[in-house]
Every structure is written in C-alpha cells, then in structure tokens.
Structure 1
Amino acid sequence: MTRFRLLAPTLLLSLFALHAPLAHAWGGQGHRLVARIADTELTPQVKQQIATLLAGEPDPTLAGIASWADELREHDPDLGKKSSRWHYVNLGEHDCAYDPPADCPDGNCVIEALKQQTALLADRSQPLDVRRQALKFVVHFVGDIHQPMHAGYAHDKGGNDFQLQFNGKGTNLHSLWDSGMLYDRHLSDDAYLAQLLKLPATPAAKPVLPPDAVAWAQASCRVAIAPGVYPTKDGKEEHVLPEGYVAQYRPVAEAALRQAGDRLAAILNAALGTP
C-alpha cells in the first residue's frame, strides 16, 4: 500500500474484496527501508551495475523503485494483472508446508516469481530492459516474502478480511502488519533506517543463488499462524487490538525488515557481482 489509511471497517472489507489479489506487503516506507538496508551492504561494483540498470528512472535508486511492483495496476495494467499473484503465497492452511502444484500453479506465487526474476537479473545475456524490470521485481519481492501475512492464510486473504480497531480506527490485520505498526512510530526513513541497522545482521546462506525462497516463505508463514498473531479473547476472535500487541509484534516486523534487507543485498551482490 502506498500509505497506511485508516478507513471504516465496512469500506476496508469492500476494497480488499475488490483488490485482494493485489494486496501489498509492507507500506511504502517498509519497502524503502528494505531497499536502503540492502544499499548499505552492496559492493562498489554492484552499485555501479545498479546505476547502469536504473539509468533514466525518475528516482534511480533501490528505494526509488522499491514500490514499483505495487504501482503497476496504475502504470501498466496488463503487467499488473499478470504479476498480481507473484506477491504472495498461501501456506497457512497446511501448517506452512509448500506444495508447488497446489500453492503455486504455473509458478504464480512469490516463491517462484522471486526465483525467476533473480535468474533474469543475473543473466547478462538478457536485454537491459528485461534485467531492469527483473531488478525492480526482485527488490520488491524480497520485501514481500518477508511480510508474514503474505505467506499466511488463504481463507482471509492474508489477514485482509480480519477486521480490527487500532487506535480507535478501523483497519485489518494485513494493513496493521504491512504499515500500521510501522507508521505508528512516526519516524522518518532516515531515523527508522538507523534503528533497523542496530538490529543483528542476517548471515547470508550459501549458496545465495538461487534464493532460498521456500524457506523464507515458510518462516514468514510460521509467524503469521503463531498463536496470538490473530488476536483472541476467551478463545474467540478479538477485533479490538489488545493492549500490548504492538509492543510485542512490531519488533517481529522490524526484524523481518532487517532480514529482508540483508538478504536482498546478498542476492544483488551475487547476481550482479563479478561473473
């Protein structure tokens, strides 16, 4: 989502019913932060490669293109429609196990899309415009796959249909995780980045390519389905956010942002570094 908006629950429900396949992960700030974390860890050679790929973009930085894939439905409706299912994978109903034919038919989920776009980015025989588009998708999808609700339940569209009251306003669980808890800190990108860089770094797995997208999605799913993430009271769904929820789960979301940024850097350094 481009900005966290507090809307009436009934309006939110209708909006997400219309646009559920295009549900976003992290708000604009979250995606920018993932990109900016990665940018602090890139090699000089890779930074030059990225500058070449992004030459001519309105904002030729990783942060500047981080939300591009969420904006396609306005700028390129055909590609937006084609890629709408590439932002998420629903693993919650079967305890986070991944069954590609059932969960990702024809490769249309964030797991396979991230692998495919990373391969295109790393393939120097591909045309510049293909690799530029792949870079935009990779930056975005690494963020998406680390947002727990984007690997959670299908039955409520990744928390979009789980209505909540947060700070006296109507929202839903997906929006709370992708932007609500982050924007509630009222930090600038610079200030938030400084906070996230204080968190422990994520060691890169070897080999980095292809990315271990299945394991990343499964880890996100386990967060989404963990007891307490969906608020309950006396065994029933609680739609007024309990006191202490944000204090408990915002650090989880922030750790995911740091992890996403570190892993994005590892992917880019491997895909764009010395062949």
Structure 2
Amino acid sequence: MKNIWIICILFLSLVLASWGFKGHRAVATIAQHHLTSNTAYVVSAYLNGQGMADVSTWADENRNQTTAPWHFLNLPPGLSHEAFAKAVAGSDNNVYNAILKAEAELKDNSLGNEQKNEALKYLIHLVGDAHQPMHISRKEDKGGNTIQVRFDNKGTNLHSLWDSKLIDHEGLSEADIAKNYDTATPAEIKQWQNDSPMEWIWESYQISSELYANVNPGQDIDEAYYQKYIPVIRKRIDQAGIRLAGELNKLFNNAQAPKITAQTPAATAVDLKDAAKFTGKTITVSGKIYSVKDIGSMVLANMGAAYPNQLLTLAIKGDAKAAATGLEGKTITVTGQVIDYKGKPEIIVADPGQLKF
C-alpha cells in the first residue's frame, strides 16, 4: 500500500509540471535580464556558475513525496479576495508557503551555501508555478488534468494545454519566447514587483476560474481560444520573470557573494567576441577598454567597444577598484566568471589579481 501511495504521488508530481521546459526557462531568462549587477553576481555564486534558466526545472526533476505539494494550491471555486486570502493563510504545504520558505532560507545567515543553492533553485521554479493559472485550481480534477480536450488534432487536457500546448503552438524558439514575452513597461515592472505573492496566486485563481467556466470535457480547442489566451500566457510568464527578479534584487542587491571553498575552476581562454557564449563559466579574455564610468559602488569598464555596444563589461569593485584608474584606452587581460546582466556578458572584478595590464 505504501509503495502504491508513493507511485501515485510521483505520478501526480509529473502531471502537475507547470509551464513546461520552455516556459520555465523563459521565466528565468526574463528574470536574469532584470537583475541588478550585484544580484546577478550573488545568484551566480550560489548556483555555482549555473545559469538561472539551466536550473529552472530542477525542482520538477527532483520532486518527492514531501516536495510534490509545493508546486500547486487547491482551493474551492467562487471565493472572494478576502475569503481567498483567509483560505491561503490557513493552509500549508503548498506553492505559497514554499515560496515564503525559500525566501526565508535565503535570508537565513546560519544556512550553508548548499542549502542556499537548493532554496534558490526552488524559488526560481516556484515563482513560475505560482503564475501558471492551473496550479491555483481545483483538487477534484487535479488542476485540470482530468478535463480532457482536443487541440491541434490531438487529445490533451486542460492542465497540459496551459503548461505547454498553447506555447508550442506559437512555434517560437526558446530564445524567441524569452525575447518576445519580455515586454513589461517601467510602470508595469514597478507595479508587478510591488505585488505580494498572495496577489500573484490570486491572479492565477481568477484566471483558472474563468478557464473552468469556459471549457467542456471533450471540447475541441480552436484557433479563437488560442488567440484569446496566448496573450494571457505571455503576460503571466513575463510577470513571473519580472517578479522573480524583484524578489531576488530585494534579497541580494546589497548582499555579499558567498565564499566558495571549492577549488576555483580553471579559466578557459576565449576570444572577446565569444564572451557571451560562456555565461556561468570562468574565462580569461583580452581586449581594449573603450569607456569607463565610476558609479560609486563600482567602476564599469566596457571592453571591445564603448557603451552600449561593448562586448564585455567589467564591474570593478572592492579591493580591485583602485586598479581601474586610467583604464580607458588600455588593452588588458581579465579572468573571472561571466554573468548575464540585462542580456549582456559581465565579469565582476573584486580581486586586483584578476586584471593584467
């Protein structure tokens, strides 16, 4: 009986995977583009050089009997905002609590790097889950998994339709999805990042309530449905990415990167024009510094061309900042880990030894 229960839990965890591979990677990529420089550096350190997109599905791939419920929230239909908030506050072991738990662990200075690594991977994934409408839905149909429909001449279900089928119908590559969905205005970014996780899941609950009202078992999902709801999916993924960035910036914008005791990986010598291909890797690269800007907390030096056409930015801070004097016009060699900052490759230089003139 116990083995049957474990199998059922694992099966449920598979059918409740949200946004699919492309969607979760898009959320993480959008978030990566909206991190501050210091946040991007700290996040990269906690992830041991892995990119956010690369770990975005880790929480689905490592589900177990304990963590499976962290990915969704079951609530009865027809709740008012007040009743909804009360029901969420009175529940536990769901996506809302798991997000709060992950953030609390990332703030806890008593935890080690390995625990922070896991908490960060959960947060990256679960913020995406909270924005998938069918993850804030009804228990009786397993989040729409038992509501069978047809789409693109194939059988599927309401949950899977929203996980990936509507996204796949667009025919966009993973890179194009992240680029085309990342459209928030400055005003939207400010508003979305001011909203609490309770509001994120309330929005999903409202959407899933509409979806339930407008679907019939066996329904043939047509092009009109797709055209109506693909903008909703685009917005939810964009909101998830923007809000994930907001949460990470709150956590890490003023934080120090963890000290990694493991052996520093050997640097790979690369051509400057290829620096962007090595995000998360430690490289050695040479090039001319075309422009330099002191912003107080650090000096930004643009290699390969002047801003905004630089091939690589060096964020020189701490003990290394004094070495930035007179850099403009010089050809230098730098060694360090490449991070993605707003779609551009960057290396944080905190040790003068990273620079050679």
The verdict on a shared fold, with TM-score over 0.5 as the criterion, is: yes
- Taking the aligned partners of 2:211 and 2:154, their CA distance within structure 1 comes to 24
- Taking the aligned partners of 1:167 and 1:203, their CA distance within structure 2 comes to 34
The 5 A counterparts of 1:81-160 are 81-95=65-79, 97-100=84-87, 104=91, 107-160=92-145
> In the alignment, residue 162 of structure 1 is paired with which amino acid?
I
Q: In the superposition, relative to structure 1, how do residues 186 and 221 fare at CA in structure 2: closer, same or farther (>3 Å)?
A: same
Query: In the alignment, is residue 46 of structure 1 matched against residue 39 of structure 2?
Result: yes
Match of 2:60 among 70, 84, 102: 70
What is the RMSD computed on CA atoms of the aligned residues?
2.5
Deviations 1:81-135 (A, max 9, x none): 211000000124242614458973xx30000110110111122332111111010
> In the alignment, residue 241 of structure 1 is paired with which amino acid?
I
Deviations 1:123-150 (A, max 9, x none): 2332111111010000000000000000
Aligned to 2:207: 223
Q: CA deviation at 1:239?
A: 1.9
Aligned to 2:158: 173
Say if 1:165 and 1:241, in contact at 8 Å, map to a contact too.
Answer: yes
The 5 A counterparts of 1:229-244 are 230-232=214-216, 237-244=217-224
- Taking the aligned partners of 2:244 and 2:89, their CA distance within structure 1 comes to 27
Say if 1:89 and 1:111, in contact at 8 Å, map to a contact too.
Answer: yes
Secondary structure of the residue aligned to 2:210 is coil
Say if 1:91 and 1:218, in contact at 8 Å, map to a contact too.
Answer: no
Q: In the superposition, relative to structure 1, how do residues 101 and 259 fare at CA in structure 2: closer, same or farther (>3 Å)?
A: closer
Counting matched residue pairs gives 244
Match of 2:241 among 254, 257, 261: 261
Deviations 1:34-91 (A, max 9, x none): 00000001011011101111116xxx01000000000014xxxxxx221100000012
Say if 1:152 and 1:221, in contact at 8 Å, map to a contact too.
Answer: yes
Q: In the superposition, relative to structure 1, how do residues 204 and 113 fare at CA in structure 2: closer, same or farther (>3 Å)?
A: farther
TM norm structure 1: 0.81
Query: In the alignment, is residue 19 of structure 1 matched against residue 5 of structure 2?
Result: no
Aligned to 2:292: none
- Taking the aligned partners of 1:228 and 1:157, their CA distance within structure 2 comes to 12
Q: In the superposition, relative to structure 1, how do residues 205 and 247 fare at CA in structure 2: closer, same or farther (>3 Å)?
A: closer
Aligned to 1:214: 198
Q: In the superposition, relative to structure 1, how do residues 133 and 223 fare at CA in structure 2: closer, same or farther (>3 Å)?
A: same
Which blocks of at least 5 consecutive residues in structure 2 are unaligned? 1-6, 256-357
Larger Rg: 2
- Structure 1 window deviating more from structure 2 (60-69 vs 121-130): it is 121-130
Identical-pair percentage: 33
Q: In the superposition, relative to structure 1, how do residues 184 and 90 fare at CA in structure 2: closer, same or farther (>3 Å)?
A: same
Q: CA deviation at 1:199?
A: 4.5
Q: CA deviation at 1:205?
A: 5.4
Secondary structure of the residue aligned to 1:274 is coil
Using CA pairs under 8 Å that are at least 6 residues apart, name the structure with larger relative contact order, 1 or 2. 1
Say if 2:148 and 2:218, in contact at 8 Å, map to a contact too.
Answer: no
User: Could you say which structure has the higher helix fraction?
Assistant: 1
Say if 2:35 and 2:249, in contact at 8 Å, map to a contact too.
Answer: yes
> In the alignment, residue 257 of structure 1 is paired with which amino acid?
I
Which blocks of at least 5 consecutive residues in structure 1 are unaligned? 1-14, 74-79
User: Could you say which structure has the higher strand fraction?
Assistant: 2
Q: CA deviation at 1:241?
A: 1.3
